[in-house]
Structure 1
Amino acid sequence: MDTLTIRRPDDWHLHLRDGAMMRAVLPETTRHFARAIIMPNLVPPVVTGADAADYRDRILSAKPRGSKFQPLMTLYLTEETQVGDLRAAAEIGLITAVKLYPAGATTNSASGVKDFTKVKRVLENMAQIGLPLLVHGEVTDPDIDIFDREAVFIDRVLDPIRRDIPGLRVVMEHVTTSDAVDYVRAGGPDLAATITTHHLVINRNHILAGGIRPHYYCLPVAKRETHRRALVAAATGTDTAFFLGTDSAPHTDTAKLQPCGCAGCFTAPNTLSILTEVFEQHGALDRLENFTSLNGPAFYRLPANDDTITLRKGEPVSYPAKIDTDDGPVTVFDPGMPLHWRVIED
């Protein structure tokens, strides 16, 4: 097979930032994706319906002329989130989900939740109206090893919440462990997970072996090779609970290359080439459309996209090493392997 046509994909976890950065990186997503769940961890965060409307309008005004890209907005869950505001935003279709960051878990998460009892009423209302909760699934306790924080989050936080609030629809975002894959597989129809492009490609050796490679540093951090293989099996398999959320997270090189560098991999430009390569390597090209274009809309109760894109296999594809922004250059994720598939129809 040297050509592959699939329904146009969606990205169910995307960071666009704001201002000059957003204007520079947005076209890298709109080129291939019809919709994307937009993360709300700006400074200050997107915590109210009014915040979401303003941010949506800034995105729409920045997208390329003629683009039909649709940003799907989210609210940042805090201990002060108001039920009435959240429900009103959901009822008019302004927001598609709510994001839970444990305080201090990742970039711009200082406003996140510390006491989960304080958000129980909000979560109960979300269960009533079917509004998904998107979780950054890591505990932040300093006594928990960073490589164990996802598994501990499932046991200490997520499973108790789901037992306490039946019917709450949850997406475990950017899962990185076999523990999370197993939990999602056994979780029933109200639980799903996104898998990133970079976690299908790298393990923790890519970050640390032979020298520190900051452009592979992300949160949740990449784990052992056994966990990467579990993610590939989930993505290329038949379980509809798993779908693409790139977690494409641009930071300028200045922010990445410092003693305390930022976490995030910028994968928007080359994600589809990387994914097609991975799926072909595992004999699963026939399942790529499910992962990129069908499983996500099904969980979110949205229609799949009608239009299609076509990828063609040929000589290795070249992508820019960096994207220039008015804030500084952003390095594009390097998968460390030749990419033979390129999108030829948009």
Structure 2
Amino acid sequence: MNEITIIKPDDWHLHFRDDDMLLETVPATARCFSRAIVMPNLVPPVMNADMALSYKERILSARPQGSDFMPLMTLYLTDKTSVEDIKAAKQAGVVAVKMYPAGATTNSDSGVTSVESRYPIFEALAENDMLLLIHGEVTHNHVDIFDREKEFIDQHMTKIVESVPNLKVVFEHITTKDASDFVLSAREGVAATITPQHLMMNRNDMLVGGVRPHNYCLPVLKRSSHQEALRQVVASGSNRFFLGTDSAPHARHKKENACGCAGCYSAWSALELYTQVFEELDALDKLEGFASLHGPDFYGLPRNTDTVTLVKEEWQVPDSINLANGEPIVPFFSGREVSWKLKA
């Protein structure tokens, strides 16, 4: 197969950042995605409806001329989030709330310190037909970083899903066989997003031959057996899994640092890389479901009507991309060949 046309996809998990960064990240996403779930972990975080609407306007202002790309906004769950905040967010068109355990990833210091205290908010989300998006890792210092996803499942995820049976839950950017098995066996209303880096790489790609900071993300890359489990579950075509890039830009100097930031900026190659993975798995017939159908179906939103076409053509991801201020960003898969290209 040298060409594939699919319904225009959406990105169900990404980070745009803010201010001047939007001039890079919004066009990069809008080139091939119709909608995107926008993460709220700005500084300060997006904690209420007014902040979400203001952020949405800044994103819309950064769209390329003629683009109809639409951001889907989320709130950042804190220990102080109230039921009233949820009701106001629903009225403002916010579709979901994101829960970060405090300290789990970039700009998560304001996250939840007690999951148990948030159950009234989980109930309010279910009552208002809003989704709960979960960064599923514990953050206790004594828990090995490679085990934190499984520990979160055992300590919290199972209880959340069982205790609030009408709540739609997305287990974000899963990285382990434990997580994929959990989602497959869970009740209706539980799904997961999977990133390109977790399908294409394992922890060897981050650590062998030297530390590779541009492959460092959170949740961190795991061993190859977990990578293979994720690849098999997307190849199966299960509608519980869908595209979420977790595209997360940082300036080069913040990645190539003694204490580098977590995140892979994949927006410029993500759809092409997903296509490459599905071809490797002999599962190109499952790509449209994963990229374009399962997400809107789970969120209860209409499927897109436009299409995009990818062609079998080699191209190279740039070594770096310069922001408007001249600051460079190193994109995910930089300097490497990709075998599929979005048709103009």
Residue type of the alignment partner of 1:320: P
Structure 1 distance, partners of 2:226, 2:335, is 19
Residue type of the alignment partner of 2:315: V
Structure 1 equivalent of residue 257 of structure 2: 258
CA contact under 8 A between 2:318 and 2:334: conserved in structure 1?
no
Structure 2 equivalent of residue 114 of structure 1: 113
Taking the TM superposition and a 5 Å limit, the aligned residue runs for 1:100-249 are: 100-249=99-248
Structure 1 equivalent of residue 292 of structure 2: 293
The Cα of 1:337 is off from its aligned counterpart by 5.9
Structure 2 distance, partners of 1:330, 1:282, is 30
CA contact under 8 A between 2:265 and 2:331: conserved in structure 1?
yes
Structure 2 equivalent of residue 311 of structure 1: 310
Q: Which SS does the other structure have where 1:286 is aligned? A: helix
Structure 1 equivalent of residue 89 of structure 2: 89
The Cα of 1:63 is off from its aligned counterpart by 1.0
Structure 2 equivalent of residue 36 of structure 1: 36
Structure 1 distance, partners of 2:158, 2:80, is 23
Structure 2 equivalent of residue 284 of structure 1: 283
Structure 1 distance, partners of 2:139, 2:334, is 29
Structure 2 distance, partners of 1:26, 1:308, is 19
The Cα of 1:164 is off from its aligned counterpart by 2.0
Change over 3 Å in CA distance of 1:304–1:335 after alignment to 2: farther
Structure 2 distance, partners of 1:189, 1:238, is 16
The Cα of 1:276 is off from its aligned counterpart by 1.0
Gap runs ≥5 in structure 2: none
CA RMSD of the aligned region, Å? 1.2
The Cα of 1:318 is off from its aligned counterpart by 2.1
CA contact under 8 A between 1:21 and 1:327: conserved in structure 2?
no
**1:237-286 C-alpha deviation (Å, 9 max, x unpaired):** 12100000000000001100111100000100011111111111111011
Following TM superposition, where does structure 1 have runs of at least 4 consecutive aligned residues deviating by more than 3 angstroms?
Answer: 335-338
Gap runs ≥5 in structure 1: none
Provide the TM-score with structure 2 as the length reference.
0.97
Structure 1 distance, partners of 2:156, 2:187, is 18
Residue type of the alignment partner of 2:320: K
Provide the TM-score with structure 1 as the length reference.
0.97
Residue type of the alignment partner of 2:237: T
Structure 1 distance, partners of 2:336, 2:229, is 20
CA contact under 8 A between 2:78 and 2:112: conserved in structure 1?
yes
Q: May I ask how many residue pairs the two structures share in their alignment?
A: 343
Change over 3 Å in CA distance of 1:335–1:172 after alignment to 2: farther
Residue type of the alignment partner of 1:317: W
CA contact under 8 A between 1:199 and 1:222: conserved in structure 2?
yes
**1:117-139 C-alpha deviation (Å, 9 max, x unpaired):** 32211111111222110000000
The Cα of 1:96 is off from its aligned counterpart by 1.0
Structure 2 distance, partners of 1:323, 1:68, is 24
Q: Which SS does the other structure have where 1:107 is aligned? A: coil
Q: Which moved more, 1:334-343 or 1:319-328?
A: 334-343
Structure 1 distance, partners of 2:53, 2:187, is 33
CA contact under 8 A between 1:38 and 1:72: conserved in structure 2?
yes
| 1:320 paired to 2:318 | yes
Residue type of the alignment partner of 1:167: N
Structure 1 equivalent of residue 20 of structure 2: 20
Identity of aligned pairs, percent? 51
Structure 2 distance, partners of 1:25, 1:88, is 28
The Cα of 1:58 is off from its aligned counterpart by 0.4
Q: Which SS does the other structure have where 2:13 is aligned? A: strand
Structure 2 equivalent of residue 48 of structure 1: 48
Structure 2 distance, partners of 1:192, 1:268, is 22
Structure 1 equivalent of residue 9 of structure 2: 9
The Cα of 1:167 is off from its aligned counterpart by 1.4
